[in-house]
């Protein structure tokens, strides 16, 4: 079977600064992949490239066999097939929790209002926020907001879900509720690519881990191998610093 | 990680993508060019074929009359430019003072706040032309002040009216600076006015600069209204020339000159706004 998402030799630079210099990976259906690496190593940039928020300088990206880096493709249609959750939640402050979720269902998926509402209520119950449908995002805690953001991202049933350090802006006691939800999504078969600093979580939930350094994948493989028995000197040094904390 | 590299050769796929994007780009440029041309032609064709075109052309677009009116109108425009300069300066100062007063906290300042609020209410509601009449003919009529040229009172009226608008723009800017910025500044021991001057206002002014520039452009053309007082500015000069030549071309000339005067500022505003946008988006394509 072909892979769900395939990156081939991705290059991206900002002006003179090369951020990604030849990243390739295959992600199969239902797999959870964790990207680790120092701040500024290009994890977020890679996710933004996959979602076509950044235009890559070279290489190709395939989603379910479609070359999404082809300039003839409609980027909006492709983005609708990819869910993204940001570090800062990025909920729409002028819309209630329910309308944050129904927005894309109604506007992009052309769902009937009542059907979208029902679907959103189901999703909210699923993320444990069934009673907060009519609240506005600023009344919710960070963890609750991030759960709404996850519900919003999966509402349109994306083929792959990109999580960009979704717990980095949360208080430590709120991290678990979000990670618990990600674990549930994995069990339901969601394909996930996540940039993360949560090494323990990556080891528990990710099938494979890629360590990105200097714009390339320094080391990649099954989570346990990379995180517990790293072969590359840079990976070892990076993980050492984490254990030291 | 940032690492400088040897220039890398792009793959054939990337080269093909770039060629396609370039082609798309030239295609849209060509389409916009053709549609502009077609639109201009239709407009021209329609206007030229109206029954009164001959007459209108003679009385609005007469080159000879234009040449004759040029010296006087351009001299008038110079007056507009001078009035504009002093009015803009006055507006900036008065508006900033008004905005600051309106954001003062504390019950002691209530009368000042009320006065400033009343001022902005009054002068945003009052048509500029009425302010011009009242200030230009009323104040000299008191006989208490030394005689001043008409354009002086025109400038005063412009400052009075536009300060009311611009102070509201400033106030919106001041209030849009997040309270956490005030807290941070006060926590460092800065007093109220230093916080305002060194932390809040610089951020506020940056945020409202496009709106301010827009108000400046609006004022640039309203400067022409001082002609109602009798000051011989570009509009008044055009009026005089029109009356002498029985031809409206001087008005068209004055109008064109005002547009030319505004263009640099309009372009500057566009450039500044787009630069702000680029900075906030940090390179993203959407």
pLDDT of residue B283: 56
- Give the model's confidence band at B9: pLDDT under 50 very low, under 70 low, under 90 confident, else very high: confident
Spatial strand order in the sheet of A58-63: A17-27, A5-14, A58-63, A66-67
Cβ-Cβ contacts under 8 Å for A8 (sequence gap 6 or more)? A24, A59, A60, A61, A62
Please report, rounded to a whole number, the percentage of residues in chain A having pLDDT higher than 70. 98
- Six-digit token pair at B155? 């400038």
- Pairing of the two strands A32-36 and A17-27: unpaired
In eight-state DSSP terms, residue A92 is -
Chain A residues within 8 A of B10 when measuring between CB atoms: 57-58
Number of C-alpha atoms within 13 angstroms, CB side, residue A15? Answer: 3
Contact B14 A57 (CB under 8 A): yes
- Pairing of the two strands A32-36 and A5-14: unpaired
Distance CA B83, CA B106 (A): 38
The answer to whether A168 contacts chain B (CB < 8 Å) is no
Please report, rounded to a whole number, the percentage of residues in chain B having pLDDT higher than 70. 95
pLDDT of residue B282: 60
Distance CA B272, CA B214 (A): 12
- Give the model's confidence band at B148: pLDDT under 50 very low, under 70 low, under 90 confident, else very high: confident
Question: Count of domains in chain A?
Answer: 1
pLDDT one-digit tens code per residue, B172-185: 999 999 889 999 99
Domain that holds residue A235: 5-244
The answer to whether B282 contacts chain A (CB < 8 Å) is no
Chain A residues within 8 A of B284 when measuring between CB atoms: 48, 53-54
Q: How far apart are the first and last CA of chain B?
A: 24
Distance CA B286, CA B279 (A): 13
Contact A41 B20 (CB under 8 A): no
pLDDT of residue A222: 94
Number of C-alpha atoms within 13 angstroms, CB side, residue B229? Answer: 30
Number of CB atoms found within 10 A of residue A100's CB: 24
Number of C-alpha atoms within 13 angstroms, CB side, residue B47? Answer: 9
Chain A residues within 8 A of B17 when measuring between CB atoms: 69-71
Contact A214 B284 (CB under 8 A): no
Chain B residues within 8 A of A9 when measuring between CB atoms: 11
pLDDT of residue B1: 45
pLDDT of residue A216: 93
Cβ-Cβ contacts under 8 Å for A210 (sequence gap 6 or more)? A25, A33, A34, A35, A36, A217, A219, A220, A226
With beta carbons less than 8 A apart as the criterion, state whether A213 and A236 touch: no
Q: Note the CATH architecture for domain B61-281.
A: Orthogonal Bundle (1.10)
Distance CA A151, CA A172 (A): 21
Number of CB atoms found within 10 A of residue A200's CB: 10
Q: Is residue B3's pLDDT more than 60?
A: no
DSSP, collapsed to helix, strand or coil, labels residue B69 as: helix
- Six-digit token pair at B61? 């677009």
Cβ-Cβ contacts under 8 Å for A226 (sequence gap 6 or more)? A208, A209, A210, A211, A219, A220, A235
pLDDT of residue B285: 63
Distance CA B131, CA B163 (A): 13
Distance CA B248, CA B125 (A): 33
Cβ-Cβ contacts under 8 Å for B112 (sequence gap 6 or more)? B101, B104
- Listed in sequence order, the DSSP H helices in chain A are 43-50, 75-79, 97-107, 113-126, 142-154, 172-187, 199-205, 223-228, 233-244
The closest of B134, B142, B141 to B160, measured between CA atoms, is B134
Q: What is the mean pLDDT of residues B30-58?
A: 93
pLDDT of residue B272: 87
pLDDT of residue B105: 80
Q: How far apart are the first and last CA of chain A?
A: 42
- Listed in sequence order, the DSSP H helices in A36-74 are 43-50
Distance CA B105, CA A48 (A): 45
Q: Is residue B2's pLDDT more than 50?
A: no
The answer to whether A48 contacts chain B (CB < 8 Å) is yes
pLDDT one-digit tens code per residue, A19-54: 999 999 999 999 999 999 998 889 999 999 999 999
With beta carbons less than 8 A apart as the criterion, state whether A193 and A199 touch: no
- Looking up residue A43, the CATH number of its domain turns out to be 3.40.50.300
The answer to whether A80 contacts chain B (CB < 8 Å) is no
Q: What is the mean pLDDT of residues A166-190?
A: 92
The answer to whether B17 contacts chain A (CB < 8 Å) is yes
The minimal CB distance from B20 to the residues A14, A54, A71 is found for A71
The closest of B79, B83, B74 to B233, measured between CA atoms, is B79
- Give the model's confidence band at B281: pLDDT under 50 very low, under 70 low, under 90 confident, else very high: low
Q: What is the mean pLDDT of residues A225-234?
A: 91
Q: What is the mean pLDDT of residues A159-178?
A: 92
Q: What is the mean pLDDT of residues B18-38?
A: 95
Q: Which of A6-15, A206-215, B34-43, B142-151 has the lowest mean pLDDT?
A: B142-151
What ranges do the domains of chain B cover? Answer: 10-43, 61-281
Element (H, E) at B255: helix B249-281
How much is the pTM?
A: 0.77
- Give the model's confidence band at B35: pLDDT under 50 very low, under 70 low, under 90 confident, else very high: very high
What's the mean per-residue pLDDT of chain A? 92
pLDDT of residue B206: 85
Contact A48 B284 (CB under 8 A): yes
The minimal CB distance from B284 to the residues A16, A17, A53 is found for A53
- Pairing of the two strands A216-222 and A208-213: antiparallel
């Amino acid at each position: 079977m072909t892979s769900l998402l395939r990156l081939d030799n991705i290059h991206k630079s900002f002006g003179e600064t090369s951020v990604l210099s030849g990243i390739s990976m295959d992600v199969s259906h239902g797999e959870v992949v964790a990207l680790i690496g120092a701040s500024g190593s290009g994890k977020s940039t890679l996710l933004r490239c996959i979602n076509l928020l950044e235009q890559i300088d070279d290489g190709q990206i395939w989603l379910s066999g479609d070359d999404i880096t082809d300039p003839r493709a409609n980027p909006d249609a492709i983005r609708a097939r990819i869910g993204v959750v940001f570090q800062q939640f990025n909920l729409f402050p002028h819309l209630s929790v329910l309308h944050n979720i129904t927005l894309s269902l109604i506007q992009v998926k052309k769902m009937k209002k009542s059907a979208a509402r029902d679907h959103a209520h189901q999703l909210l119950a699923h993320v444990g926020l069934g009673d907060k449908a009519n609240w506005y995002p600023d009344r919710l805690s960070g963890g609750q907001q991030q759960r709404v953001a996850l519900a919003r991202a999966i509402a349109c049933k994306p083929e792959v879900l990109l999580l960009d350090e979704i717990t980095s802006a949360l208080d430590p006691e709120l991290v678990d509720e979000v990670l618990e939800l990600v674990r549930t999504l994995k069990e339901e078969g969601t394909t996930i690519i996540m940039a993360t600093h949560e090494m323990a979580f990556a080891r528990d939930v990710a099938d494979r881990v890629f360590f990105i350094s200097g714009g390339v994948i320094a080391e990649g493989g099954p989570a346990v191998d990379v995180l517990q028995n790293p072969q590359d000197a840079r990976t070892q040094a990076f993980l050492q610093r984490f254990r030291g904390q | 990680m940032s690492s400088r590299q040897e220039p890398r050769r792009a793959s054939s796929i990337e080269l093909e993508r770039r060629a396609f994007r370039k082609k798309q780009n030239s295609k849209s440029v060509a389409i916009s060019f053709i549609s502009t041309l077609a639109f201009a032609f239709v407009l021209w064709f329609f206007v030229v074929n109206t029954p009164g075109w001959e007459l209108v052309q003679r009385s609005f677009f007469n080159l000879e009359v234009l040449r004759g009116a040029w010296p006087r109108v351009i001299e008038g425009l110079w007056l507009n430019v001078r009035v504009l300069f002093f009015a803009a300066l006055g507006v900036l100062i008065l508006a900033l003072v008004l905005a600051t007063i309106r954001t003062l906290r504390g019950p002691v300042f209530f009368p000042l706040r009320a006065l400033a609020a009343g001022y902005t209410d009054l002068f945003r509601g009052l048509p500029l032309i009425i302010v011009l009449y009242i200030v230009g003919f009323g104040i000299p009529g008191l006989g208490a002040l030394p005689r001043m040229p008409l354009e002086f009172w025109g400038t005063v009226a412009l400052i009075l009216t536009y300060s009311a608008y611009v102070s509201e723009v400033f106030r919106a800017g001041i209030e849009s600076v997040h309270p956490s910025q005030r807290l941070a500044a006060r926590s460092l021991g800065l007093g109220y006015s230093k916080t305002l001057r060194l932390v809040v206002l610089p951020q506020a002014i940056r945020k409202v600069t496009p709106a301010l520039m827009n108000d400046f452009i609006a004022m640039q053309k309203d400067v022409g209204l001082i002609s109602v007082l009798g000051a011989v500015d570009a509009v008044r000069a055009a009026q005089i020339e029109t009356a002498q030549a029985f031809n409206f071309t001087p008005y068209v000339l004055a109008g064109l000159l005002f547009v030319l005067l505004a263009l640099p500022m309009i372009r500057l505003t566009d450039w500044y706004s787009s630069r702000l946008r680029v900075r906030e988006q940090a390179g993203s394509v959407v």
